[in-house]
Structure 1
Amino acid sequence: MTALLRFLFTRGHALAGFLLLKAVAVVVNGLAQGTAEVWGLGILTLVVYGIIARFAQAGRVISIWAITVLMLYEAAGGLLLAWSSLTQAPGVAAIGFAVAAYLVVGALAVLSSRREA
């Protein structure tokens, strides 16, 4: 179990997980709302997050701080969404809590790896 957690929460895997979760959110929002504006904004957000994550993976300190703040911001949004849907859809809320927990722990893993090359 410890080896799995160590594997999941390295800098590269935490960043890849964050981008994967964000890509899923972009697709779900795009399909749910179905407008070109939502798709464009979602894809633009994903591209910007990808660029910041690439620089963070390279070890740039400002990008590491920026992606950590973005991950915590996304986790807070997921936590609020999960909390608001707790009584109507407990399964969705459980998934939201799990995603928020993954993002918080991933953000802490990325931030703690800022001294590594």
Structure 2
Amino acid sequence: MNSRRDRNTRTALFDGIEEGGIRSSSSYSHEIDEQENERAIDGLQDRVAILKRLSGDINEEVETHNRMLDRMGNDMDTSRGVLSGTMDKFKMVFEKKSSRSMFTLVASFVVIFLLIYYLTR
């Protein structure tokens, strides 16, 4: 019974290990770890490259939108200037004593313009 137990213990302890096998399995395990690390590093490099391209694309898109917004702001400033000039002219017209006839003329022009606009639409 004792020899059987010794044999089971010995088999369990030295199962598959030959002389110098401990160093080989440790080296093999180390190689596996290095291979896994290399694969992980390659995966990280791929992800970093993708993120770099993505951030470059985002940067280009942001610059494009900034240029578009600058142009739109300039156009709005120009429109504001034109509208301000028109409003100043209207104020001048309505401040005159003969503003009633001028108001009638402007109102009729606006009504005719709107009528033509809706008929052609």
Range into which the TM-score falls when normalised by the shorter chain: under 0.3
Higher relative contact order (CA 8 A, sep 6+): 1
In proportion to residue count, which structure has more helix? Answer: 2
Whichever of the two has the greater Rg, that structure is 2
TM score, norm. by length of structure 1: 0.25
